[in-house]
Amino acid sequence: MNVYLLTAALLAGVLLYYFLFAGKKKSRTVLYFGLIIGVFTFFIYRVDKSCFGASTPIELKLTNKTEQRLKIYTITFWDDVNRQTQSATIYHAELSANETSAFWFENDSSNFWLVAKDSRNQIVYLNKVLDNGTSLFYEIPRMSTVIKDGNVNLASKLTRSTDKSLAFERVMLWINTALVCLICVLFFYHKV
């Protein structure tokens, strides 16, 4: 279960309890509990976006030489214990035309894919990187041709799934923010 969905449910439960079951003398303790959950949610969001695990951190410097704004992803692959291939897709950012940026991501193996999508969500760049260095530099050329094959289809499917997950995460973060703001208002205007 998504942690943001769980915390939104807990915050809604705190508000429900406060309004329905706390009685005439509404307790600030319930609101303290809600504020703690809210702070925990924002802390998890920040930590989740900036943590490295036991993998090797890779610094990737990328220059967008095209005339369009591109969304940048990396897809890493590894074999698990059962010899099945697993993957992780990471959205990094949008790069404007002729912009250079640096990204960090984790990689357990020596291969990953570097993917760039345009505003129509079409893959305009796919590079299968086999370099095992920890600091890499690549340029997305002005005119790149992507051969439509199984790799492009797989990359498209994985990046689409990541886009949906990120959209859901943003919505849940805004819902959590609204609930925490409501709890703060109730906390400060609570009559003791």
What's the CATH number where 101 sits? 2.60.40
| pLDDT for 192 | 53
pLDDT of residue 83 exceeding 80, the answer is: no
72, 127: one domain: yes
Q: What is residue 106's predicted lDDT score, i.e. its pLDDT?
A: 78
Do residues 180 and 41 lie in contact, with contact meaning Cβ atoms separated by under 8 Å?
yes
For 119, residues 6+ apart whose C-beta sits below 8 A from its C-beta are: 68, 69
45-54, 104-113, 127-136, 153-162: which is most confident: 153-162
* Amino acid in position 78: W
Structure token pair of residue 51? 């943590």
- Asked if 29 and 80 sit in the same domain, the reply is no
Taking the model in full, what pTM does it have? 0.76
Residue 102's φ and ψ, nearest 5 degrees, are -115, 140
Nearest to 85 by CA among 54, 55, 109: 109
Which helix (H) or strand (E) is 157 found in, with range?
helix 150-188
Tokens, residue 174 = 């805004």
Residues of the chain with pLDDT > 70: what percent? 86
Domain identity same for 20 and 72: no
Q: What is the number of structural domains in the chain?
A: 2
Q: Are 42 and 69 found together in one domain?
A: no
Write down the pLDDT at residue 22. 65
Specify the pLDDT at position 119.
Answer: 86
Q: Are residues 76 and 20 in the same domain?
A: no
Which pLDDT band holds residue 53 (cuts at 50, 70, 90)? low
122-139: pLDDT as tens digits: 888 888 888 777 788 888
Residue 153 lies in a domain: no
95 and 33 in a common domain: no
Task: Tell whether 69 and 38 lie within a shared domain.
Answer: no
Which range of residues forms the domain containing residue 8?
Answer: 3-50+170-188
Query: Is the domain of 17 the same as that of 88?
Result: no
